[in-house]
Amino acid sequence: MFLYCSFMDYELPSLPHHGRGAVSAPAGRFERLETSAVDDGWRQTGRAADDLDETPRLLTHLHTDTSRSVINHVDSPDIGFLRSINPYRGCEHGCIYCFARPSHSYLGFSAGLDFETEIFHKPDAPEILKRELAARGYKPYPIMLGSNTDCYQPVERDLKLTRAIIEILAEARHPVAIITKSALVARDIDILAPMAEQGLVRVNISVTTLDPTLARAMEPRAAAPYKRLETIAALAKAGIPVHVMTAPMIPGLNDMEMERIMQAAREAGAAGAHYNVVRLPYELKHLFEEWLRAHYPDRAERVLSLIRQTRGGKLYDAGFSQRMVGQGPYADLIAQRFDLALKRYGFPGDRTPLRMDLFRPPERDGQLALGF
């Protein structure tokens, strides 16, 4: 007679990784298989067991993006630009709330840890951009640089793709708006300041919180809040129009800071301000909830409940009419507070459009590109 004993496996909890935002790397929505770590009953006790709870340091890997174009045509009715350029796919900043995370699933990677460790870059983006600007029939519209992932994320310090792109836009006198949460944008003041004198550039700095502890957990590799305020001040001093993005506002987590952020940014020299309510499309809703329960378990249920109150009872609603600002009483309250803060702190509301009449196309095949 044989006696068979079995232990019921249970899934091991996901633990935060040092310097990373997402807690796990779940399979993308297009993958057929998904794996998870489980305890088979053979975990050791004592010191070895403690070692199992220590997550390894994750390294960043660079991949080449072989896209044949760099200017994206945007047709979303609730986005205020028609063209964009993203030199990078994925973002090492690791912001847990980033709406771009699910785009990594198209590349066969996870929207979780892969999004912030498997980074794609476009080494030939400057040459492709020059060719696109020189094409016959090209008509200039303001280009949003870094609309999907941050164009000044850490790898830009070495690769300098964003700087090369701005140099080409400056030479062609092409209008550009930049959005970033990195202090690295101040590196390029030497190019941006002359463009600003011509009315060709505007920079948007994202500041989500003034609390360094929250920032470290929520945006682990982005610039510290005080560095972003210093960057706003440096840009403003150089005569570059700069706006603050209090985005995203996460109900119950950072939305109570909105007025303080706007006040600090205005004192630093921001001429305008914008906001949106957190967006959690596709896999992001699960990643965000996992992160929230790992880092802020005491307030997780309240935050999730408030987000649902701004999304018609769901964690996300993609409807164009409300996906940026939400709906319902709580979303309306955030909007009212924002409008009052604009007046209270004296934002001038600079809405001067970027100039498009100065554009001159780059040379094409050794000849000046005419007929644009």
- C-alpha to C-alpha distance for 339 and 342, rounded to whole angstroms: 5
Both tokens assigned to 293: 């329960």
Least confident among 164-178, 195-209, 343-357: 343-357
Both tokens assigned to 108: 């066969």
- The type of residue at 350 is D
What's the pTM value of the predicted model, to 2 decimals?
0.88
Closest CA to 121 of 163, 63, 61: 63
Closest CA to 362 of 104, 140, 67: 140
What pLDDT score does 2 carry? 39
Both tokens assigned to 354: 């970027």
Task: Say yes or no to pLDDT of 320 above 80.
Answer: yes
Residue range 174-178: mean pLDDT, rounded: 98
Q: Using pLDDT thresholds of 50, 70 and 90, give the confidence band for residue 238.
A: very high
Longest dimension (CA), the chain: 91
371 or 359: whose pLDDT is higher? 359
CB count, 10 Å around CB of 2? 3
185-222: pLDDT as tens digits: 999 999 999 999 999 999 999 999 999 999 999 999 99
CB 272 within 8 A of CB 300: no
What pLDDT score does 39 carry? 42
In the chain the domains, ranked by start, together with CATH numbers, are 10-16+34-45+61-346 (3.20.20.70)
What pLDDT score does 47 carry? 40
DSSP assignment of 288-350 equals HHHHHHHH-TTTHHHHHHHHHHTTTTSS----TTTTTT--SHHHHHHHHHHHHHHHHTT----
Both tokens assigned to 165: 């792109």
